[in-house]
Amino acid sequence: MRYENHIFICANQKPEGKACCGEQRGLEILEKFREVLKEKGLNGKVRAQKSGCLDACKFGPALVIYPEGTYYKNVQVSDVERIVESHIINKEVLTDLELVWEA
């Protein structure tokens, strides 16, 4: 596997009036991830990129981190550094932001 972690941040744009992560700062969150990953020397080990819809619109802004497949909900720009420190560096899921899908 090329990257230790791959972070997909929803930056989807839907027609007017429909909830979507792109409208709720998806691209801003993406840029913050890129900034923090660079600051922490994680470029080349961890990749952050925008994605299309993650089907988590009502929980947005949303993202998913692989290889674990952990989804995070209601992510704000202010959460990015904490996600990198806890999930990426220390391998600890942030339970307060984790989106657990009902079976």
Structural domain boundaries in the chain? 5-99
Q: Residue-wise over 10-45: b if at least 16 C-beta within 10 A, else e?
A: bbbeeeeeeebbbbbbbebbbbbbbebbeeeebeee
| pLDDT number for residue 94 | 97
pLDDT tens-digit profile, the chain (103 residues) = 689 999 999 988 776 766 667 665 888 999 999 999 999 999 999 999 999 888 888 888 999 999 999 999 999 999 999 999 999 999 999 999 999 987 6
Class of CATH domain 5-99: alpha beta
| pLDDT number for residue 18 | 64
3-state secondary structure of 51: strand
3-state secondary structure of 97: coil
